[in-house]
A and B are shown apart, each in its own frame.
Chain A
Amino acid sequence: MKLEKDDLILLYRNMVRTRKLDELTIKGLQEGKVLSFYHSGQGSEGLAVGSAACLRKDDYLWGHHRGHGIGYLIGKGLDGKAFLAEHYGKVTGSCLGISGFHFAEPEYGALGAAGTIGSQFPISLGWGLAAKKTGKQQVVLACFGDGGSNRGTLHEAFNLAAVWKLPIVWLCDNNGMAQYTPIKDTYPKDDIADLAGGYNMPGVVVDGMDIMAVYEAVEAAVDRARAGGGPSLIEAKTARYRSHSEGSPDVSHTVTRSEAEIAELKKRDPIETFKIKLLKQGVLTEEMVDQINKEADEEIIETEKFSLDSPPPEPSILNKLIYAE
């Protein structure tokens, strides 16, 4: 699908909204309002927003754990209120404040996310099997990282998805770091996309900092899956601006990543580079950029207020959650 001017502006706007929500969630954690952890997604906004823009609302989505998948959900049409409230442990959150950072948004096809890295492979396989059985041309966008690619579950699911020709797009957010361990010590080749050949599926590498490159690659894979062509693997080379999780050391093994190294990564910033591109093309003007930022700031204030004003869940709900009738 050719993107019109409004579509491009929406992509830019959604990346800005994703970044600002990320910053707000970090602030919430520092202030002790966010429960448990936050794994910032700064640097991966283009991948999240660009890939989700290729999906229908009823397509299944396992977002990446960077940013707890919110960029993908914003790309699919959700706002940040239920996300932040869930992180605050409030009853107005996505899952009544019970799930925390492994929440679900079933209306948007995000049926779950997990604390065990690599568990997206078998469960997404199940969503893909259901999509094929149901026959409504739904697809699954199943995200994982370079760290997740090390799990054996990848093999079992890649293999069966290919054998059964399931409509799954396996999307790797390769930022080169699994918590504190660089990819050079966990994977013997340059490209994770090379795995695809072993499963007789297409495998491509894209610049994950370039939202248009992401959009084009994911769109092609989604179209192929929807048409019954089976799974694909896309590896997006991205960058991780911050530490693995907020408050944890930003190290490669034991060596702190330098400010110069991070500054180098930020030169490829997906939001800034796309803004410059759209300004050059005349799609955006400086006034429009200011307006988008202003609106995103207002949304953030509202999102924070919504979460702060919401009550926590009552302990009495626990017994209602455990078993279905």
Chain B
Amino acid sequence: MKEITYVQAIAEALAEELERDEKVFCIGEDIQTGTFGATAGLVKKFGPDRIMDTPISETAIAGAAVGSAMTGYRPVADFMFADFMYIAFDEILCKAAKWRFMHEGTQQIPVVFMAAMGGYLGLGAEHSQSPVSYYMHTPGIKVVVPSTPYDAKGLMKSAIRDNNAVVYLYHKALLGSTGEIPEEEYLVPLGQADIKREGKDVTLVATGMQVQFALNIAEQMKDKVSIEIIDPRSLEPLDIDTIVKSVEKTGRAVVVDEDTSRCGAACEISMQIVEKAFDYLDAPVQRVAAKNYPIPPGAMEKFVLPQPQDIIDAVEAVMG
């Protein structure tokens, strides 16, 4: 095992897959330097034809990736901020997500759309969003959100090897966080949740930055309540079975999501718990997510984004 940062883990995954398969290439704005460091240094080894800097042209980046993926390439399109992906939603949500289905299930579109998401850095409404729900909502596209360096590397490698379009959203506030990963190659499969902490009183479902909040809270509250933390890691495909199994054991569920509350991932997961595990519930499911406002910059953001105290309150509410 070795210690590595979250952002280094992403870079390592990209380097390994670029090395392994010559059909893999990266494309995006300023990726040779890399705004967040996830693609930094790759150009030195793989050259500018495989680490392609582009102008500010999100639809062209997405189109270049989707179009070339249709012919057998495995592009990783980097959008820098997750917020910028909205500009290319036609290419992402219509073409990449629908064209396999529309084209008799024979067309493969093995493309990864990566971007940094998330708040807690005070960057304001158009640089802080965690837009997971749009992808989770759209049939035909997968979405992953790593919370640790181990998952960041293993999920990226699986995303690149997947024969479908995968949105890979990594959290800006976790870039420098550290964790252990194996020296040897490994993959983290899509659609397999990870129990980040075992417990018996409450099932707490969280992704990305919220997993880190949850781990701290579980430790802090351990004398009062035993919290089981489930990180789905991919929201589509969603490993609902692991979540349901946990709820059958604990009888209580809190679902945490950094995205806007209304129609968000927490909303969907909570409903699935209600549909599949209602008879096991001893209390109503609690949802913790961003309030239904744009995210203000600076200190004001804490009134919109979910805070650790909100998670504590939700745990106490289900405990009664």
The 8 A CB mask of A99-114 against B (1 = contact, 0 = none) is 1001110100001101
Instruction: Tell whether, in the assembled complex, residue B103 and residue A104 are in contact, meaning their CB atoms are under 8 Å apart.
Output: yes
Q: Which residue of A102, A104, A127, A317 is within 8 Å of B107 (Cβ)?
A: A104
Instruction: Tell whether, in the assembled complex, residue A119 and residue B71 are in contact, meaning their CB atoms are under 8 Å apart.
Output: no
Instruction: Tell whether, in the assembled complex, residue A126 and residue B59 are in contact, meaning their CB atoms are under 8 Å apart.
Output: no
Tell which of A16-24, A48-56, A155-163 binds the partner. A155-163
Q: Which residue of B49, B60, B142 is within 8 Å of A125 (Cβ)?
A: B60
Instruction: Tell whether, in the assembled complex, residue B99 and residue A112 are in contact, meaning their CB atoms are under 8 Å apart.
Output: yes
By size class, the interface of chain A is 35 or more
Report the nearest A residue to B72, measured CB to CB.
A130
Report the nearest B residue to A120, measured CB to CB.
B63
Q: How far is the CA of A156 from the CA of B67 in the complex (A)?
A: 15
Instruction: Tell whether, in the assembled complex, residue A99 and residue B102 are in contact, meaning their CB atoms are under 8 Å apart.
Output: yes
Q: How far is the CA of A119 from the CA of B63 in the complex (A)?
A: 8
Q: Which residue of A95, A119, A130 is within 8 Å of B95 (Cβ)?
A: A119
Q: How far is the CA of A151 from the CA of B91 in the complex (A)?
A: 14
Instruction: Tell whether, in the assembled complex, residue B103 and residue A115 are in contact, meaning their CB atoms are under 8 Å apart.
Output: no
Instruction: Tell whether, in the assembled complex, residue A119 and residue B90 are in contact, meaning their CB atoms are under 8 Å apart.
Output: yes
Report the nearest A residue to B65, measured CB to CB.
A126
User: Is residue A324 contacting chain B, with contact meaning CB distance below 8 A?
Assistant: yes
User: Is residue A322 contacting chain B, with contact meaning CB distance below 8 A?
Assistant: yes
Q: How far is the CA of A121 from the CA of B103 in the complex (A)?
A: 19
User: Is residue B139 contacting chain A, with contact meaning CB distance below 8 A?
Assistant: yes
Instruction: Tell whether, in the assembled complex, residue A160 and residue B90 are in contact, meaning their CB atoms are under 8 Å apart.
Output: no
State how many angstroms separate the Cβ of A165 from the closest Cβ of chain B. 13
Q: How far is the CA of A114 from the CA of B97 in the complex (A)?
A: 13
State how many angstroms separate the Cβ of A264 from the closest Cβ of chain B. 37
Residues of A within 8 A of B142 (CB): 323
Q: Which of A268-325 contact B (CB under 8 A)?
A: 317, 320-325
Kindly count the residue-residue contacts between A and B in the assembled complex, taking CB atoms under 8 Å apart. 138
Instruction: Tell whether, in the assembled complex, residue A159 and residue B60 are in contact, meaning their CB atoms are under 8 Å apart.
Output: yes
Instruction: Tell whether, in the assembled complex, residue A129 and residue B107 are in contact, meaning their CB atoms are under 8 Å apart.
Output: no
Q: How far is the CA of A86 from the CA of B243 in the complex (A)?
A: 42
Q: Which residue of B54, B72, B90 is within 8 Å of A116 (Cβ)?
A: B90
Residues of B within 8 A of A320 (CB): 105
Residues of B within 8 A of A153 (CB): 59-60, 63
State how many angstroms separate the Cβ of A246 from the closest Cβ of chain B. 22
Instruction: Tell whether, in the assembled complex, residue A160 and residue B65 are in contact, meaning their CB atoms are under 8 Å apart.
Output: no
Q: How far is the CA of A99 from the CA of B104 in the complex (A)?
A: 8
Residues of A within 8 A of B58 (CB): 156
Instruction: Tell whether, in the assembled complex, residue B100 and residue A160 are in contact, meaning their CB atoms are under 8 Å apart.
Output: no
List 24 A-B residue pairs with CB atoms under 8 Å apart, sorted by A's residue number.
A96-B104, A103-B102, A106-B103, A111-B107, A116-B90, A119-B63, A119-B94, A121-B60, A121-B63, A122-B67, A123-B66, A123-B95, A126-B65, A126-B66, A127-B67, A133-B49, A133-B73, A156-B55, A156-B59, A157-B60, A159-B57, A160-B54, A322-B105, A323-B100
Contacts A104-B99, A322-B100, A324-B108 known; 9 new A-B pairs at CB < 8 A: A96-B104, A99-B102, A122-B60, A125-B63, A125-B64, A126-B68, A133-B73, A157-B59, A159-B60
Residues of A participating in the B interface, judged by any CB pair closer than 8 Å: 94-96, 98-99, 102-104, 106, 111-112, 114-116, 119, 121-131, 133-134, 152-153, 156-157, 159-160, 163, 317, 320-325
